[in-house]
Amino acid sequence: MNALSQPGGHSQLLRQIRSIMASEDLAQKRLDGLVESIARNLHAQVCSLYLRHSDNSMELWATHGLAASAVHVTRLEAGEGLVGEVVRTSRPLNLDDAPVHPAFSFHPETGEDPFHAFLGVPVLRGGRLLGVLAIQNRESRHYSDDDVEALQNVAMVLAEIVASGDLLSASELESVALRPSRTETLAGRRISDGLALGQAVLHDPARLRTALIAEDPETEKRRLQDAIKALRASVDALYQGKGNRLGGPSREVLEAYRMFANDQAWLDRLCEAAGSGLSAEAAVERVRGEHRARLLTARSPYLRERLHDLEDLANRLLRHLGAVDELADLPENAVLVARNIGPAELLELDRSRLKGLVLEEGSPTSHAAIVARALRLPVVGHLTGLLDRVSAGDTIFVDGQMGEVTLRPEPDAEMDMRARITERRLRRAAYARLRDKPARTLDGQRITLSMNAGLRVDLPQLDESGAEGIGLFRTEFQFLLAEHLPHQNEQVQLYRAVLDAAGDRPVVFRTLDLGGDKLLPYVAHEREGNPAMGWRAMRMALDRPGLLRYQLRALIEATGGGVLNIMFPLITTVDEFRAARALLDAEIRRMARFGHAVPAHVNAGAMIETPAIVWQLEELLREAAFISVGANDLMQYFFAADRENPKVAERYDILNPGALRMLGHIARLSRKTGRPASICGEIAGQCAEAAVLIALGFDALSVPPAAIGPVKRMVLALNRKDLARKLTRWMRQPQIPVRENLMAYARQKGLPL
């Protein structure tokens, strides 16, 4: 029986490790003491520590049993040897005869040729692989599960100590991939415009604040078991859908979530880690790190989705153990760094301190992106590998204009960044001076600039921006951010608040646009292979009209006696518009019958978001009071390019002649029939695209609040008729892109695009 098989063996080793690492000795001496202690406790003749460089090579940093002269000399290329195999799989590798393994690589300077048994474990922190810890013996043997467990616990404790910066100096950290220190500029995707310079705060919903090593393993196991019971109870309560008025949450999604919460293998792994000498919190973190490292490398989208479930369960479990949310107390000038974030989480943060957001994932059309734009928060997303490159406290510059993020900028570069932020602030002040000036082109065409909204936080920007109304109020955000179906009186209160803020300015309410990527947690839905083309928006509303009728009553009550401007999303056939209008008329009659005030006038319009309805437009315009082009979806369907897929989302240019001919067709039919037409997609807020839309004949744009100033400045410098003539010619010259011609024209005319 070895020392680690005896009661308290794990804890004894961990206490020794803690004592060695807490000493005042130089880093190398402490690492040497570490590997010696592990070898002694595990009866191993060799213990070695390899750390990973930024190029993924592995350097021998400490050893007991191999040649001391090989330390800082032996370096394995990326993926080389048994150490490289541990790196590749992020799992322990346990071999009784290492030299016969196909990945074995021999470095003669180490003197390791006599050794046959090999056990290597990854040194992981937050799913990031920092290095490999390995033990070896001359005789062939298969290391016990107890040995594997002990080495994994030591590896976790070591990862926390090394990555904290308490062990290695700044110069040493530069040479290994633990805490990056050099300047890096990462190219991502523009999600929300703006510039921010601040301090990186890592989005870790339940950061550990407890000791890693347990004083009493049995107590930690009981704490963990109690927390698991509480976690299961909370998930069961969520599954039962207490207070749910729609008959229960999504059974498919929550059933999978509930299955993970009751997965015995996961729970056994947690209890093993807690019983081996780690605190309950550290046990959760260790198991989370193992799953994260493996699932992040999975090719299957399903397995990568499951990572989010496990991450959330681990965070919930840590909260049941008493962990606190560090985002509740942000530092000044905080830039949040996250894999992804939900809109509700974003709204809960201290906006006075939060200056920017950067995401490994993220999409310009996601819910969080729309909330960020409402908050005027610069956001860059789709930064692959971001969390491996940034540490808490790093200086970080967010360039929402170019879609770039700079980590740890040099002092001179930081001065330039501050100058850009100041210049942008001065431009915003100049836009503010245009607030009350009508948007009129040089040739006298009046352009109406309204704003997009969907949240209460948007409302103050009506006056600040000089918007002439709300051209698109996304009503689904109230539903998406709530834990239960908003009661009718809650909906009425929001809609009245919007109308009160607008005063005599028009407000266009879009009815619920759900489905696709907008799923309510308290409404059942089925997994779809292609959600954007599936059961969503008006299709869902007409098949299950209860929710739409519930909302229509709130809108009718909120606008009683006034004007109701209402718009139905994703109309694909004229019959769909007729059916939606019939539901609205029926609810108005019902409200009047029960003595409620009803709108004095109703304007019912349709969103033009599919090519199908474009070619039925003349018939639709005989029945709809107005139309609004939802360019995000219309371009998605026109180009057959999923706007959530980064490989194709920006592959096609909106200024493509084919797309412009379709948009021009819509504008011409609108003028012919005398029905107002506006553009409310995100493209209307981009100055270059807005100029072309105006030249095509659109005279009403609904844009994000922050875009009103720049677009108005462009309108005041634009000669609409002149650009329209040029545009007609450019569209007949496919060899030169329209955008290229437009930019040359703008430079010549001094048009600010």
Positions marked catalytic: 367, 680
Pairing between strand 507-510 and 379-381? unpaired
Nearest Cα neighbor of 396 from 405, 404, 388 is 405
How far is residue 182's CA from residue 668's CA, in Å, rounded to a whole number? 55
**147 and 366 in contact (C-beta within 8 Å)?**
no
**717 and 442 in contact (C-beta within 8 Å)?**
yes
How far is residue 375's CA from residue 350's CA, in Å, rounded to a whole number? 11
Order of all β-strands in the sheet with 93-95: 75-76, 58-64, 46-52, 128-137, 117-125, 93-95
**453 and 370 in contact (C-beta within 8 Å)?**
no
Residue reference for tokens 């980064």? 646
Beta bridge partners of 125: 128
Beta bridge partners of 518: 515
**CA atoms within 13 A of residue 200's CA, in its CB half-sphere:** 24
Residue 740's Cβ-count burial label (10 Å; 0-12, 13-18, 19+) is exposed
Angstrom distances, CA of residue 616 to CA of 608, 623, 669: 11, 12, 11
Identify the three-state secondary structure at position 620: helix
Count how many residues are written for the chain. 753
Nearest Cα neighbor of 634 from 615, 621, 620 is 615
Beta bridge partners of 409: none
How far is residue 419's CA from residue 412's CA, in Å, rounded to a whole number? 11
